[in-house]
Structure 1
Amino acid sequence: MSATSPAPLRTRVTPGGWAALAWLAGLLFTVLLRLRLPGQEEADVLAGVLFLRWDGLTALGLATALALRGSALLDRRPTAALGHLLAAAVLCSTPLGVTAIPLAQYLAVDVALYTIAARRPTKEAERAVLLAAGVVLGHLAVRFLAGWTAGTTTALAVFSTAGAVWLLGRAARQTRLHAEETRARAAGQAVTAERLRIAREMHDTIAHSIGIVALQAGAARLVIDKRPELARDALDEIEAASRETLAGLRRMLGALRDAEGSGTAGGPAPAEPPGLAALDRLAETTGAAGVRVTVRRVGAPRHLPPDVDLSAFRVLQESVTNVVRHSGADRCTVTVDHRDPGVLALTVENPRAAPGRRRAPAAGGSGYGLVGMRERVGLLHGEFTAGPRPGGGFRVTAHLPVPPGDAPA
């Protein structure tokens, strides 16, 4: 559980922002080419007749306004934004006195093409690249038909960049979709593994309870004639254990049903599954791994159903393990709150890692511990949250409903 770091600049700037920057940078480059800069005898490109006239400057201004408007629309209406940017590129070529759409004025269109190809469905992306290519070819065709000089080489360069960025965008989309599919599959496998683990632990809990019932029943049979009061006590114990086990079994029925038929065989489990009573031992073991765990118990400890007790321990165990593996922090705090009679509140939080402290290796962790914890809490109809703390570090909280002690099964 690690603190979040600021997002890189390329993700903080919107695609519309990049398109606007591309247009302004291209416009600045185009203007500088037509000016005699220090150290030059003359400008690299001869300025067109209209370049410094009022009508030429007006056309440049209108083209820039169209481009900025298209950039603003790119996040919400990408196809309309592409149309604005293409119109700006064509309009800008007139006052520059060039024979084709300049590559510098097409950079913003390339940004829009990449965005559409990377984010939009296939049909919309194909229509976008056809529209962009059609405008370039149409501009050339108009000049040919009018008998004007046409910059075929420049148009081919513009056409090539459009195709390249479109292909890059489609590749980025496929990569993202594959990554999302992989994450969803891995999360599903983590949920299934957690449910199987819960089912095995529930099996051990039920076996333990049935053993107690068998022992009490045998004792009651032996003393029912001579000491009926002892037999009555034994029957009371049998009734309490049976009701508690049945209630826990019903709460875990979803996990047992979903894991049914998987055929996964677990290794030998302990005869008595751990619970919150093992929390101090967990803190001691974690301290030996280099992370000091402070355990705070709020309210008077109480008897918990076995499934709630076990799930609470597993959530705390996984959270502390995440601190050791991923946070880089040297301490964490575990809080167990018993004050609400109907809810057991659990909190695990760690501060921001100290500068220079290296994280411990993941030790083969799946990386989906939060998914398993959320699934375990959800099966008990509880609430689970995990995320960064306001002052840095990470916090995990879980609220597990605790059924009333005298509630019928």
Structure 2
Amino acid sequence: MGQHPTVPDGAVAVCLAVLALLVLKAEPATENLREPLRDPDALAVALTLAYTLPLVLRRRHPLALLPLVVPAVLASVLGYPPSTAVLSGLLLVYTAALQCPRRQSFGAFGVVVVAYLVATAFDAYDDAWAGTVAGGAMFFGAWAFGRAIRYRRAYTAELEARAQRLEAEREAAVRATLSEERARIAREMHDVVAHSISVMTVQASAARRMADRDIVRSKEAMAAVEDTGRAALMEMRRILGVLRDVERPDDALAPQPGTCDLPDLVGKVREAGLGVELQVEGGPRPLPAGVELAVYRIVQEALTNTLKHAGPAQAQVRLCYRPAAVEVEVRDSGRGAAVFPGASGGAALRPGHGLVGMRERVSLYGGSLQAGPGSGGGYVVNARIPVEQVRA
């Protein structure tokens, strides 16, 4: 907590008062006197204390202290020896310039200067005019110094406020980045969980139906459920590894899936009971890691939706490498067109994380995505991602 201004101002006022009384009691110089000086008395002491002690309030009420010039002028008019009234005037002008707006501070400067001119007009010394010029320059210097300090403090306060605004904007940007990262992780988790659970559900259902008739195939189906679950757990660990505060194991830093993993994905979907054909057109070439992941997730989400909604069906995945883009199409022959959003007839489903996630992945790279009923039935997901734009 800062010190109250009255404490240092009170100390300054008391020091000025003591100094003024000491100067008042000292033997004044008698050279160049036009008339003898009046001996200090109780009135001189009272006038001296009147223009010094009230300065304890100079920072709280600077303009209200302007009447202090009256006892200072009166002491000069009455012919008392010169004291420290000039110091009190300088301090008052400086404080007004520091604390008050420009017009008010300049008004205070004018009042003090006029009072100083009146006092020097009644000065008992012959060289009063030489002192008048020097005194006027000192008062202007005190006013200019006070204004400079005021501008400096205002500039510093503006810099601090700007720094606070920048810090607040930085924190807001960090929060927005964290929110985007959470949304990305949520999409990744949705893709992993939805696909894996769909495959596991189909395999478990097949194992249950074959448990009494074909124990060997039933065990194979359950083994596939186990493998799918284990793979899903490993991928979830990689995704959630970025949230750990401690050092992550090496498997948390493993590469994200890409186009080279599509055959494994198609194989797992076949094991779940959906006939899938993978077709690659054009010359395969390395793609940016983000595009690789986007293509994989689009195929994964589309096949998962086919498993969940298409019923008995066949699916075809076509990956085409163009000179300036990569295209991926997932087409099925099931009844998904009747239950997906935008289909005519049937119960339209609300767009979930899957379709939204696919659109966001494609739009991130300036691509386009169409999803809807196929012309010959079934459902079609078609995405095109520019590659040259990503590399630029």
TM range (shorter): 0.3 to 0.5
TM-score, normalization: structure 1?
0.45
TM-score, normalization: structure 2?
0.47
Larger Rg: 2
